[in-house]
Amino acid sequence: MRVITCIVCEKAFESSRAATKICSVECKTKRMIEYRRSYKNIDRNRTCIVCGGGFVLGGSGSRSKICSPECYTFRRNHNPRYKPAPLRFITCLVCETVFQGKGKRATCSEACQKARPASYYIEHNPLSPKPCIICNETFYTSARTHKNTCSPTCSKFSLLQARHEYREANRARRRAYDRDKNAHAYAAVNVCRSMGINIPWEEAKLALKILKEELPTLTI
């Protein structure tokens, strides 16, 4: 154990950890309150390291040293460790004009960028004929899409048909389950009658349920 002096109340206390500086939770709370008050009164005026102009820090945890995006770009471009992407000659996908650009740029201007999606999609995704699964009419769609109907009406009818098939499959599953359960109950009644015991139908189902709970591996 080491004797340490609290940095808040200046009282001596014992601790096994050398990094401990506060003696109690009350002193820790007081220190946090003082720290927050001093942080609120801190001077937020800063000087930009690029242009030398003054600016005010924004957020509570901001440590910015640069006043604007322009100064940030200027500093990055004049950094000797910064290696910008090399310029290359690119052919515009819309107007086929040759221009200089960087990276994955594919259009020469904002107008071509707006006009690109339709022309680019049609060129790289040709339309192909496909029969409608509801009315069997042929319609044209892209190979990348999974569209199977020709119109919103057929699409809605296809959804209703899928729901109907799902419900019918669930009903068939429930019927098969009830049929198997009743078959086991019939078997229990037949066994009891073969032994000369006349057991009602409801009592046979209840007895079968109790036996299945006590012996899960029981098969009749």
Residue 168: inside a domain? no
Looking at residue 10, what is its pLDDT? Answer: 87
Residue type for position 1: M
Residue 21: inside a domain? yes
Residue 7: inside a domain? yes
Confidence of residue 211 (pLDDT cuts 50, 70, 90): low
Residue 29: inside a domain? yes
Tokens of 87: 């310029």
Residue 111: inside a domain? no
Looking at residue 101, what is its pLDDT? Answer: 85
Summarised one tens digit per residue, pLDDT across range 134-191 is: 888 888 887 767 788 888 888 888 888 888 888 888 888 887 777 766 666 566 555 5
Q: In the beta sheet, which residues pair with residue 56?
A: 45
Looking at residue 204, what is its pLDDT? Answer: 62
Residue 17: inside a domain? yes
Q: In the beta sheet, which residues pair with residue 98?
A: 91
Q: How many folded domains does the chain comprise?
A: 1
Confidence of residue 205 (pLDDT cuts 50, 70, 90): low
Residue 133 clears pLDDT 80, i.e. is over it: yes
Counting Cα atoms < 13 Å in the Cβ hemisphere of 28 gives 6
29-43, 62-76, 186-200, range with greatest mean pLDDT: 62-76
Mean pLDDT of 44-67: 81
Whether the model pTM is above 0.85: no
Residue 8: inside a domain? yes
Summarised one tens digit per residue, pLDDT across range 70-109 is: 998 888 888 888 777 788 898 888 888 898 888 778 888 8
Summarised one tens digit per residue, pLDDT across range 109-125 is: 888 887 776 666 666 66
Are 84 and 95 spatial neighbours (Cβ–Cβ below 8 Å)? Answer: no
Residue 174: inside a domain? no
Q: Which domain holds residue 36?
A: 2-40
Tokens of 193: 């009658």
Instruction: Provide the Cα torsion 158, 162, 163, 164; round to 10°.
Output: 100
Summarised one tens digit per residue, pLDDT across range 5-18 is: 888 888 888 888 88
